[in-house]
Amino acid sequence: MKKSNIIITAILIGFLSSCSNGEKADGYGNFEATEITISSEAKGKLEFLNLEEGQILEKGTVVGLVDTLQLYLNKQQLLASKETAASKSGGVWSQVSVLNQQLQTAKTEQQRIQNMFNENAATQRQLDQANSQVDVLKKQIQNVETQNSPIVNEVKSIGAKVAQIEEQIENSKITNPINGTVLTKYAEPGEIVSFGKPLYKIADLEEMTLRVYVSETQLPNIKIGQEVTVKIDSGEAMKDYTGTISWISASAEFTPKIIQTKEERVNLVYAVKIIVKNDGSLKIGMPAEMWISQ
């Protein structure tokens, strides 16, 4: 008698379990993350790339370097040319300085002759000579300053080239742009890389995005900012997470092929994104379910 009671109890428990397992989730989908492929911004030998797949990197960390020796040598050559050009300009300004002193003396003499002429102590010829001397010096100064303009432009041009090389040297540093986990490493130290060559792929996995699809009849039950339950397979049971709806599509689309049965895949549905805090168990592409609390 006791044995039959145990059997009946087991059957009832199994029946109840099958009923609860028969409940259908409100949405199905897969986890996503924003993946960024970091590419080389310079051409040359990859000196080092200090990262491995699965490594967590901080934003702003310099993880690699493309050889900058040739750029450095070009920069030094340009700096030497700039210094030479600047020295020419210095010589021109020295001439201008001397001519300005002569002009000041000539103007003093011009004023003295003018005063003497006003008192009939100097002739018109003497005054004309004084005025002519001042005019000649002014023209000489103007001509010398004109000669300096090409030198100044040359110095500016070299300075722009130096700045360009400095930017190229800075771009030779491989700086990690976000906090995240390295997903894939594409290059190794010693390789010759070119501009645009992928070096590694990284994604922020601290928060994952679950993209699910819901029917039109489910839309009234969800809204942006709403908390929902997200479930993933964990052995024979399900593991629960709390997620927050961050986006709801404004237009319908056909259900992706990865979702459920062939009949359901032809239905029009709306995509929904749910942000879930990752405890380390969630992976890109992992399937999951969305359950709306009633």
Give the pLDDT mean for 29-34. 94
Give the pLDDT mean for 278-290. 93
- Structural domain 25-34+205-291, CATH architecture: Beta Barrel (2.40)
CA 209 from centroid of its chain's CA atoms: 22
What number of other Cβ atoms are within 10 A of residue 224's Cβ? 11
Residue-wise pLDDT tens digits, 38-53: 999 999 999 999 999 9
CATH of range 36-68+173-203; options 3.40.50.300, 2.60.40.1180, 1.10.3720.10, 2.40.50.100 = 2.40.50.100
Which carries the bigger pLDDT value, residue 56 or residue 95? 56
pTM of the model: 0.66
Query: At which residue do the structure tokens 């699910």 appear?
Result: 212
Query: What is the rounded radius of gyration, in angstroms, for the C-alpha atoms of the chain?
Result: 40
Which carries the bigger pLDDT value, residue 170 or residue 89? 170
- Comparing C-alpha atoms, which of 243, 258, 281 is closest to residue 29? 258
Lowest mean pLDDT among 11-15, 61-65, 94-98, 196-200: 11-15
Packing angle of the helix pair 69-118, 124-171 (nearest 10 deg):
160
pLDDT band at 20; cut points 50, 70, 90: very low
Judged on CB neighbours under 10 Å (0-12, 13-18, 19+), 262 is exposed
Q: Is the pLDDT of residue 159 over 80?
A: yes
Residue-wise pLDDT tens digits, 86-120: 777 766 667 777 778 888 888 998 898 898 888 88
Q: Is the pLDDT of residue 36 over 70?
A: yes
Three-state secondary structure string covering the chain = CHHHHHHHHHHHHHHHHHHHHCCCCCEEEEEECCEEEEECCCCEEEEEECCCCCCEECCCCEEEEECCHHHHHHHHHHHHHHHHHHHHHHHHHHHHHHHHHHHHHHHHHHHHHHHHHHCCCCCHHHHHHHHHHHHHHHHHHHHHHHHHHHHHHHHHHHHHHHHHHHHHHHHCEEECCCCEEEEEECCCCCCEECCCCEEEEEECCCEEEEEEEECHHHHHHCCCCCEEEEEEEECCEEEEEEEEEEEECCCCEECCCCCCCHHHHCCEEEEEEEEEECCCCCCCCCEEEEECCC
Give the pLDDT mean for 141-146. 76
Distance CA 194, CA 186 (A): 13
pLDDT band at 269; cut points 50, 70, 90: confident
Which carries the bigger pLDDT value, residue 91 or residue 37? 37
What does the pLDDT read at residue 3? Answer: 39
pLDDT band at 265; cut points 50, 70, 90: low
pLDDT band at 253; cut points 50, 70, 90: confident
Which carries the bigger pLDDT value, residue 12 or residue 145? 145
Average pLDDT, the chain: 85
Say if residues 272 and 248 touch (Cβ distance below 8 Å). yes
- Comparing C-alpha atoms, which of 73, 65, 63, 19 is closest to residue 171? 65
Q: Is the pLDDT of residue 292 over 70?
A: yes
Amino acid symbol at 50: N
Lowest mean pLDDT among 131-135, 149-153, 176-180, 271-275: 149-153
Q: Is the pLDDT of residue 285 over 70?
A: yes
What does the pLDDT read at residue 142? Answer: 79
Give the pLDDT mean for 221-239. 92
